[in-house]
Structure 1
Amino acid sequence: MKRTQWRGRTAAEQPEQHYLIEPRVLAGGGDIAYVLAYLHVSGWQDVSKKGVLPAVRSPDRTVRVSYEPSLQPGGWTIHSAARGQQAQWRATLARQTPVEIVAGLTDALTRPRPAHAPDVWAPLRAQRWTTGSEGRHYIATSPDGLAWLHFRQGAEGSAVWWSGASDRQGGNAWVAQFSDTTPLHLVAAFSAALASPEPVMRPRDRVPLSARITTTSVSVLPSQLRAWQQARLAAALPAGPSAATARRASPTRARR
């Protein structure tokens, strides 16, 4: 296990132990506020009912994001009603899906839709994922074989996007599914977050038990955590800092 320490420590604060985890696909779920707070700041409405787990709705009332770990398999559900030329669509992501990967999709919901459909597979190929076809299916697999993204087509014409990760030990796996009507720019945003080589950070009591992860111990000040959280939320505001500024403020960019 590697160990490093954050600069900027002051006598008034006590550092807290956290861990940077690689690969990010096996980091575990994380704090759901990472997803929901960004949507709130972007103008999404809290539609949670008393005694019910969190749910938010887009300003135009067409998209709903909810977190329901008590259901089977439990986790995130994103549903969009039909609008104009866009058919309704649905996505489900299990509760062990890292919030940083969930946010790849949900953050994209707050941005304008691009004029042209992007290449979903491009972020994966850029990180040396293996891509190819198997019969009616198109698949991509990470270099370590721990994560995948498939576009699976049934003989009757049905299709689904299917993704996930597994450490092959049974206790740290997750799957995600998207209907074939899910806008491609959202699937591409998800695939970019899935393929990202950047580690993600977890507090010491939230580090998964897995022989397939690498952890780097870091001492983090509470003020640093607050600053990183505020940088992310500021990026959700129309007049907030640029994406480059937000990245420079992130913990994975501040390692020493």
Structure 2
Amino acid sequence: MAVSPAQRASYANDHHTKIPFEKSPRALAGPGDPRHVTHALLASGWTLTSAPGDPRITLTGPDEARHQMAIDPFASGSPWRIQSADWTWNASFDRMVPAEIIAGFTDGLLHGPRRGDIGPWEHMQKAGWAVERQPDGTGQALSPAPELPVRVELRPIFNDSSDHFAWRITQPDHIGMPVWKMWISGPVPDHLMAGLAEQLVSDAPVLRGMYDLDHYSARQEPSLLTPQQAVEAHFTRIDAAQARGRSQRRTRLTTRLPAPAAAPAAAAASSRATRP
């Protein structure tokens, strides 16, 4: 299911008057536009399976990859929920998780594992974060930015469970609730967490509207992009996702087709050539 002209027009209409500002670090930039995630999924062949008029959005993956993603505005804690096709794992993101970081996770569902990829903690170390791991698999990492540091924590949700974890983003001097949380249940594939971590530690700022105040004290500077250029950058992303999805579907179809049978004349000639 491609992104329709009406959906493109709606996105452009929502952003054509927003003066783009660059915000960093991206972990503190606020949620942004969820269509950064959903449009890429639709362009890649996912289908909108929720009932018309239902404010809860459900997208389902194509073919055998029947993963499911839901956005529930009524959910108090985690409006984003992603469920594996075989129900072995699920992930939930709370409202303040930046869409670009969620896209690092969901894009992995579209691309699959990448050759030579590294794990989430290794991505943090490579980016200069100070990482502390524990024997039980939990840990924490502190970003190198001295003016706006961010701490990542991985903790068990329940004390007696080793397969239910919460990734928390906090500010070291912050007292109270973390900036945002992500909940993991079951064996989420490593490449999905690696994609999320790669987006989390990226130094590249994310675009937000000039008066978008839904963030945690992130730095913001005017972008060199015009509103139209910011919209075109979004369309370039979803067009690339659509082209990649078509290529993957053609590859899957080719591998499923039976080998063509030999033509009768060619088969007879081959049989005569092999006779003594």
Q: TM-score range by the shorter chain?
A: 0.7 to 0.9
Residue equivalent to 2:192: 186
SS in 1 for 2:110: coil
1:42 to 41, 44, 63: 44
SS in 2 for 1:237: helix
1:218 to 202, 218, 223: 223
1:67 to 65, 71, 78: 71
Q: How many residues end up aligned between the 2 structures?
A: 222
1:76 to 73, 80, 102: 80
Distance 2:102 2:214 in 1: 18
Cα distance change on mapping 1:164 and 1:136 into 2, 3 Å: same
Question: Is this contact kept in 1: 2:23–2:208, CA < 8 A?
Answer: yes
Distance 1:220 1:117 in 2: 31
More helix by share: 2
Report how far residue 179 of structure 1 moved: 1.9
Distance 2:36 2:155 in 1: 28
More strand by share: 1
SS in 1 for 2:181: strand
1:33 has 2:35 as partner: yes
Residue equivalent to 2:6: none
Residue equivalent to 1:112: 112
CA offset digits 1:158-200 (Å, max 9, x no partner): 2334323234276882100112411111111111111111111
Question: Is this contact kept in 2: 1:136–1:152, CA < 8 A?
Answer: no
Q: Percent identity?
A: 23
TM-score by length of 1: 0.76
Residue equivalent to 2:56: 53
SS in 2 for 1:110: helix
Residue equivalent to 2:123: 123
Residue equivalent to 1:206: 212
1:20 has 2:22 as partner: yes
TM-score by length of 2: 0.71
Distance 1:224 1:128 in 2: 32
Whose radius of gyration is greater, 1 or 2?
2
Cα distance change on mapping 1:155 and 1:96 into 2, 3 Å: closer
Question: Is this contact kept in 2: 1:16–1:219, CA < 8 A?
Answer: no
Residue equivalent to 2:234: 229
Highest RCO, 1 vs 2 (Cα 8 Å, sep ≥ 6)? 1
Could you tell me which runs of 5 or more consecutive residues in structure 2 were left unpaired when the two chains were aligned: 1-15, 246-276
Could you tell me which runs of 5 or more consecutive residues in structure 1 were left unpaired when the two chains were aligned: 1-13, 241-256
2:179 to 150, 170, 173: 173
Distance 2:223 2:243 in 1: 32
Question: Is this contact kept in 1: 2:157–2:166, CA < 8 A?
Answer: no
CA offset digits 1:4-23 (Å, max 9, x no partner): xxxxxxxxxx9752221111
CA RMSD across the alignment: 2.8
SS in 1 for 2:103: helix
Question: Is this contact kept in 1: 2:20–2:230, CA < 8 A?
Answer: no
